[in-house]
Copies of this chain bind each other. A is one copy, B any other.
Amino acid sequence: MATASTGAKPTPERIFNTLNAYQQTEALRTAIELDIFTAIGEGADQPASIAKKVGASERGVRILCDYLTVQGFLSKENGRYALTNESALFLSRKSPACMASLIGFLASPSHKENFEHLTDAVRKGGTAAAQGDNQKPNDEYWVAFARSMAPLTGPSAAFLAQLAGMAEQKPCKVLDVAASHGMFGITFAKQNPNAKIVGLDWAPVLEAAKENAQKAGIAERFTPLPGSAFEVDLGTGYDVVLLTNILHHFDPPTCEKLLRRLHAALKPGGRAMTLEFIPNEDRVSPPTAAAFSIIMLTLTDAGDAYTFSEYQRMFRNTGFAETTLHPVPDMPQSVLVSRKAS
């Protein structure tokens, strides 16, 4: 029997905890829904005071907060709960970096349903859902994404803008492909008053981007481009094309079809900047990037978490001169910079 040696005595605890892992998702969702983290951040630190603030039972709050402590979202000492640094920064609604809105997309009923059909997806080699072709619009889904996922972009968007040299404030024309909430392009525009952004996405999705551009005070430099990235007239002369979390939805020939169009739209010397989950060549590390592939298996016909060498091949095949890899600090994603020859 093919068996790897692990050293430790085998116990069924990991199996038990994995079959219960869905409870972690629901507990965090519930804590966000009830706004437990904000209540603790405001000073309520025992079940009775937290329960009073969030309008729940003392017993339910005690059990939930103990569970959140086990999962690392709270600390507990002498019966009093406190936020971890992480929860204070990302889960309290008082924090500008609050990610509470993520529960509107991650852990949504449609994602959970996809995973309930994982056995079928593994049999078939692609999603068991009716819609797996992400070249077609899926407005409800992508509007939910645009309305929920913006807070997760902060560190990556800042890193992308820095890599792109936005601080130099040179005139710059940026195409944000599958712009969604628009926050990547908007971050470029905020750092560089001479940057102009074209945000490409389905028309109903772009409503979120337009609102965010307005809020950020850069609406006059944000041009919405509604339609399919595979079909719409992209224009030309771009300095930068942003490809954030889009290529993973497609098989390599489809990615190449898109990359060819983007190569044509770039200026000579222009750059495609791709933000992605990029596992190592072993495809099993680092954990979060490697684990992303199974989400694409359940959601799409043929999407994947591609390795760097796979991405290099796609960019090379479509005319790009060179592609370099830049891990985003403290985040599970990486940026690829692919240059069009001057």
Chain A residues in contact with chain B, CB under 8 A? 1-6, 8-30, 33-34, 40-43, 45, 55-64, 66-67, 69-77, 81-86, 88-92, 94, 99, 102-103, 106-107, 112, 115-116, 118-119, 121-126, 152, 155, 279, 282-285, 287-288, 290-291, 293-297, 304, 330-332
A61 to B106, CA, bound (A): 24
A107 touches B1 (CB 8 A): no
Q: Is the CB of B6 within 8 A of A86?
A: yes
Q: Distance (Å) between the CB of A291 and the closest chain B CB?
A: 5
Q: Are B99 and A63 in contact (CB under 8 A)?
A: no
The A contact surface, by secondary structure, is helix
Are the CB atoms of B64 and A125 closer together than 8 Å?
A: no
Q: What are 12 sample pairs from A and B whose C-beta atoms fall under 8 A apart?
A: A1-B41, A1-B43, A1-B83, A1-B88, A4-B85, A6-B86, A10-B84, A10-B90, A17-B291, A19-B106, A56-B125, A60-B123
- What CA separation (Å) do A243 and B20 show in the bound complex? 23
A290–B23 alpha-carbon span in the complex (Å)? 13
6 nearest interchain CB pairs? A57-B125, A60-B122, A4-B75, A22-B22, A19-B106, A21-B24
From residue A53, how far is it (CB to closest CB) to chain B in Å? 13
Quick check: A19 and B29 within 8 Å, CB to CB?
A: yes
A119 — which chain B residues lie within 8 A by C-beta?
Answer: 29-30, 33-34
Q: Which residues of B sit under 8 angstroms from A64, Cβ to Cβ? A: 118, 122, 294, 297
B34→A122 contact, CB < 8 A: yes
Which B residues are CB-close (under 8 A) to A115? 22-23, 26-27
| Bound CA–CA A16/B29 (angstroms) | 11
- Bound-complex Cα distance A287 to B296 (A): 31
Distance, CA A124 to CA B59, complexed state (A) = 9
User: Smallest Cβ distance from A254 to chain B, in angstroms?
Assistant: 15
Look across to chain B and name the residue whose beta carbon is closest to the beta carbon of A103. B19
Considering the chains assembled together, what is the distance between the CA atoms of A224 and B125 in angstroms? Answer: 48
